[in-house]
């Protein structure tokens, strides 16, 4: 059984992203006008994939902290543990970059990326795609494309590739965090 965070990613977030796909298909016309409109949609799609994936990762982290705090006694210590594990959480302010993910989940005692890689060797390449997604997200948000080759040109296929990487990583994150918590508290957390 997946976490509630993964459930939301696979339903609510997928539905929202499907609406962007539908908007892309709905753009009519030909030539430069259509290319400009679809480029703007591709940019919006990129930001949305990144922000939705950030929401998933943040929710997974919240759920993990709740599992650890629930397994901690006395309750006075549990609430202090909650504050310590969440203070300055990078996912509250920053992109779901490999570095931020490793730092936030590392605070739970995980060798995060080692455990994610151990589940599926393809996660190494997906991690690179996640980094690329976040570089594009920043380029679009700041309208500074120097770090992504100096051009704002972005094709739908690229965004779909990043989204597919996020889909696969979400499943591995959910499993890796669940297995780690299971080892810590002695039972499957979800």
Partner 1 sequence: MGSRVKLSFGGREVVATVVEDRGNIGVGGRRLLRVRVELTGGAEPIEFEVPATDVRAAA
Binding residues for partner 1, per CB under 8 A?
3-5, 8, 59, 62-63, 65-67, 70, 75-76, 79-80, 82-83, 85-87, 92, 189
Q: Which helix (H) or strand (E) holds 170?
A: helix 156-185
Q: How far is the CB of 164 from partner 1 (least distance, A)?
A: 24
Q: Please name which of 134, 126, 169 lies closest in space to residue 49, comparing C-alpha atoms.
A: 134
- Minimum CB distance to partner 1 smaller for 1 or for 164: 1
The answer to whether the Cα torsion of 177, 132, 59, 48 is positive or negative is negative
CA distances from 142 to 53, 99, 110, 173 (A): 19, 20, 33, 29
- Minimum CB distance to partner 1 smaller for 84 or for 118: 84
C-alpha to C-alpha distance for 23 and 13, rounded to whole angstroms: 16
Q: How far is the CB of 35 from partner 1 (least distance, A)?
A: 39
- Minimum CB distance to partner 1 smaller for 4 or for 16: 4
Q: How far is the CB of 157 from partner 1 (least distance, A)?
A: 32
Place of tokens 């972005």: 154
- Minimum CB distance to partner 1 smaller for 1 or for 118: 1
């Amino acid at each position: 059984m997946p976490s509630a965070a993964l459930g939301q990613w696979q339903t609510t977030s997928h539905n929202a992203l499907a609406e962007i796909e539908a908007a892309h298909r709905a753009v009519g016309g030909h030539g430069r006008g259509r290319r400009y409109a679809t480029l703007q949609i591709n940019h919006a799609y990129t930001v949305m994939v990144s922000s939705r994936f950030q929401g998933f990762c943040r929710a997974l982290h919240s759920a993990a902290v709740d599992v650890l705090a629930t397994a901690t006694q006395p309750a006075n210590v549990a609430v202090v543990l909650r504050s310590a594990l969440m203070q300055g959480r990078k996912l509250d302010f920053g992109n779901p970059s490999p570095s931020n993910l490793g730092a936030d989940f590392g605070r739970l005692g995980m060798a995060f990326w080692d455990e994610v890689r151990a589940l599926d060797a393809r996660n190494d390449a997906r991690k690179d795609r996640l980094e690329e997604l976040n570089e594009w997200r920043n380029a679009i948000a700041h309208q500074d494309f120097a770090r992504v080759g100096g051009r704002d040109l972005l094709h739908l296929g690229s965004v779909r590739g990043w989204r597919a990487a996020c889909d696969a990583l979400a499943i591995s994150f959910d499993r890796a965090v669940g297995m780690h918590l299971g080892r810590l508290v002695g039972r499957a957390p979800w």
